[in-house]
Amino acid sequence: MILCDEITLLKDYKKIRDRSLLICDPLEIEDYVLQPVVDVSPPKWHLGHTTWFFETFILIPHFFNYQPFNPDYNYIFNSYYETIGARIIRTNRGNLSRPTVAEVKAYRHYVDEAMESFLSEYKLEDETREILILGLNHEQQHQELLLTDIKYILGHNPLFPPYIKNSPYEKMRSIQTLAESKDVTVEAGVYEIGYKGDGFCFDNELGRHKVYLDDFTISGSLITNEEYLDFMNDGGYSNFIYWHADGWEWVKTNYISAPLYWYKIDGEWQNYTFSGLEPIEKNDPVYHISYYEAAAFAAWKGSRLPTEAEWEIASDNFKWGQLWEWTESAYLPYPGFKKAAGAIGEYNGKFMVNQMVLRGASIATATNHSRKTYRNFFQAPLRWQFTGIRLIK
């Protein structure tokens, strides 16, 4: 007899696993293998890696007599878990013409059948349940990466093919009302940040702790394309005074002169979207911005980015969730943070260096990941995610 909790977990498992395949449905077979840059993984690899997670951390250690689909897959689908053993380097994920897409989908089917049997036959121990829930949230993270990686793959094809015509993912005009949002003022004082509750959160959201904040006012709206165009037209990309030293080197080395996916065609700015090339909408929020660009824009405005504590405390009073928002906070552990034992302890803790925190969520984020304590993080030059700008006034 399946227990109620296991029934719910099985339903969640099937729903989440199905969505990964649904995201890939519009792709042609050739799209599954491409890796244009190191930060973008091929869609086929995402499908294999998320499957590997359940096989490696649930089925092999906990399901009696389970036989791995292919022992060699541990080498190609392990992402960064040193504890689990050797793996291909990240830049080689695009060299995996084999296993084929059909074989990876067969791998998913094999593991999904085993997981259904496992959840039907076993009462889960607390630790196993926690790993399973982590695995579901992990796959949802990869669904967001799937969408952003697919956009990068297609957005760097010279033909700019649409992912989906009239795509539902990038309807930024639906949030134009953000421009009407009021600024939010927060008085100086001691506040608490970090996750509080009984639901799921990632370990980097713990533990909840006190912070002191000075008075500040944060914008109720995101920076728009029109505002960012003003920065560009005023020589923002050609004046070193606005840039961090590393940011200025990044601009010069990579010939950066506009946000990612922006192209000037016949004298007019257009950007690549999931629906293909479209004219820039001046009232839409600007996005696909690096931390370097966000900080430079803030300096040009005589302003600054919020810290993650400021963002979290003020976030109940403005609309958020369409774009990840850069903060001025380095990605560091909260007081009392402890890494879990074993491979699971590698999930977040070892990345707490040389990265900046983003807050909020994006149009590609799973709904249950949209919480104000969620700490996303990326290196300063990266901008293939749906990242935007909100300023402290």
Residues 102, 225, single domain; the answer is: no
Q: Are 257 and 290 in contact (CB under 8 A)?
A: no
Average pLDDT of the segment spanning 86-104 = 94
Of 137-141, 162-166, 177-181, 376-380, minimum mean pLDDT range: 177-181
d(CA 355, CA 377): 6
Query: What is the band of 154 on the pLDDT scale with cuts at 50, 70, 90?
Result: very high
Lowest-pLDDT range, 1-10, 84-93, 182-191, 300-309? 1-10
54: domain CATH number? 1.20.120
Within this chain, do residues 203 and 267 fall inside the same structural domain, yes or no? Answer: yes
Judged against a pLDDT cut of 90, whether residue 359 lies above it is answered with yes
Does residue 121 register a pLDDT over 80? yes
Residue 180 has what pLDDT?
A: 57
Mean pLDDT within 283-305:
98
Residues 138 and 217 in one domain: no
Q: Looking at the predicted structure, is the pLDDT value of residue 297 above 60?
A: yes
Ranking 80-94, 131-145, 169-183, 329-343 by mean pLDDT, the lowest is: 169-183
Can you read off the two tokens belonging to residue 110? 């094999």
Examine the domain organization and report whether 295 and 358 are in the same domain: yes
Overall number of domains in the chain:
2
DSSP three-state, residue 204: helix
Residue 187 pLDDT exceeds 70: yes
pLDDT for residue 285 is more than 50: yes
Q: Which CATH number goes with the domain that contains 190? A: 3.90.1580.10
Cβ proximity of 47 and 20 under 8 Å: yes
**Per-residue confidence at 181, pLDDT binned at 50, 70, 90?**
confident
201: in domain: yes
On whether residue 107 sits in a domain, the answer given is yes
Helices (H), 156-265: 225-233, 245-254
Q: How far is it, in rounded angstroms, from Cα 270 to Cα 283?
A: 14
Residues 8-43 have pLDDT tens digits of 899 999 999 999 999 999 999 999 999 999 999 999
Q: Give yes or no: residues 105 and 193 share one domain.
A: no
- List the strands of the sheet with 376-378, edge to edge: 376-378, 356-360, 324-330, 387-388
The 10s digit of each residue's pLDDT in 239-249 is 999 999 999 99
Alpha-carbon gap, residue 151 to 223, rounded angstroms: 22
**80 pLDDT higher than 90:** no
Query: Which of the listed residues 129, 155, 181 is the one where a domain comes to its end?
Result: 155
Mean pLDDT of 113-129: 94
User: Do both 207 and 80 map to the same domain?
Assistant: no
Structural domain includes residue 148: yes
pLDDT at 105 over 50: yes
- Residues 232, 310 share a domain: yes
Q: Please tell me whether residues 263 and 384 are part of one structural domain.
A: yes
Residue where a domain stops, chosen among 130, 155, 180: 155
> What DSSP element (H or E) covers 152?
helix 126-155
383 in any annotated domain: yes
Q: What is the mean pLDDT of the chain?
A: 94
Whether residue 332 sits in one domain with residue 211: yes
Q: What is the pLDDT of residue 1?
A: 33
pLDDT at residue 52 is higher than 70? yes
> Could you tell me if 151 and 183 lie in one domain?
no
Under a CB-based contact definition with an 8 Å cutoff, are residues 347 and 203 in contact? yes
Residue pair 142/20 in contact (Cβ under 8 Å)? The answer is yes
Share of the chain above pLDDT 70, in %: 96
- Residue predicted with more confidence, 84 or 150: 150
Q: Do the domain assignments include residue 161?
A: no
- 71 or 82, greater pLDDT: 71
Select from 102, 129, 155 the last residue of a domain.
155
162 within domain boundaries: no
Mean pLDDT of 201-205: 96
Does 359 map to a domain?
A: yes
Q: How far is the CA of 28 from the CAs of 37, 153, 364, in angstroms?
A: 20, 12, 21
Q: How confident is the model at residue 172 (pLDDT cuts 50, 70, 90)?
A: low
- The counts of H helices and E strands in the chain are 10, 11
- 270 in a domain, yes or no? yes
Do residues 217 and 122 share a domain? no
Confidence of residue 2 (pLDDT cuts 50, 70, 90): very low
Domain that holds residue 272: 172-388
What's the pLDDT at 169? 76
Q: Please check whether residues 216 and 365 belong to one and the same domain.
A: yes
